[in-house]
Amino acid sequence: MPEVHDIEAVVFDVLGTMVDEPGGLRAAISEAVSASAERSDERSDDGPDDGPADATVDHLLTVWQEHVEHEQQRIAKGSRAYASTEVIDREAAHRVAGRAGLTDGPAIERLATASQRLAPWHDTLAGLARLARHFPVLGLSHAGRATLLRLNAHAGLRWHQALSAEDARAYKPAPEVYRLAIDAAGCAPERVLMVAAHAWDLRGAQAVGMRTAYVRRPGGDPPKSGDTFGLHAEGLDELVTALTAVQ
């Protein structure tokens, strides 16, 4: 078992690692498209259809994800000033609406706030509660402060501290984002464990000296052959067991 006895704090990525971001966004897009179609059917006196095709929703989810990734990369390169996820998500929602032919303002606005209503993975809440009895646990998220507040409440995430990348005005893997967690933990970076379902996120944490743990999640970014993360777990239960075995 990897050495974990000297870890003083555990930091979790939130979107995708603790909550089902792709599934939640997919459901929100499907809901928006279905609602628009039902209103169109009512106006045309046709009966409602069976909802949007999976291929349509998958395409629109890709449109959303590609916009978010592109804009965050532009911010990282300095070609766009920092914008919070609230701003970028609203842009993504309008982009999706344009592709899908959605014109209902309230429906588009609800779609823009979909990241506030993501569901936790099945093992998230129990695993977080178990770990919190042994370590300070922190969330470190791309989500803007307002989104993170509402997401934590909706998903039932109970942290000792939740940190938003908005406070660093940058997005991971920028080192200043990870330093938010290191500063909050108040100890050397090698005593802080970063947990994520995204290998690119863990590489960023390694670059500032943090310890790392990969947790497999659907839609995550799995490690490559050259990655050397300290822990690999199939789920949060396995990770918590490994971390608490030496307590």
Architecture of the domain defined by 9-20+118-244? 3-Layer(aba) Sandwich (3.40)
Q: Which CATH number fits domain 22-117: 3.90.550, 1.10.150, 2.60.40, 1.10.3470?
A: 1.10.150
Query: What is the reported pTM?
Result: 0.91
Give a three-class secondary structure readout of 194-230: EEECEHHHHHHHHHCCCEEEEECCCCCECCCCCCCCC
Please report the pLDDT score of residue 35 as a whole number: 75
Domain limits of the chain? 9-20+118-244, 22-117
φ, ψ for residue 181 (rounded to 5)? Answer: -70, -40
Please report the pLDDT score of residue 245 as a whole number: 85
174-180: long-range pairs with CB below 8 Å, 24+: 174/76, 174/204, 175/204, 175/207, 175/208, 177/140, 177/204, 178/140, 178/204, 178/205, 178/208, 178/210, 179/208, 180/140
Please report the pLDDT score of residue 233 as a whole number: 96
Residues in the chain, pLDDT under 70? 1-5, 36-55, 246-247
Please report the pLDDT score of residue 51 as a whole number: 54
φ, ψ for residue 161 (rounded to 5)? Answer: -160, 140
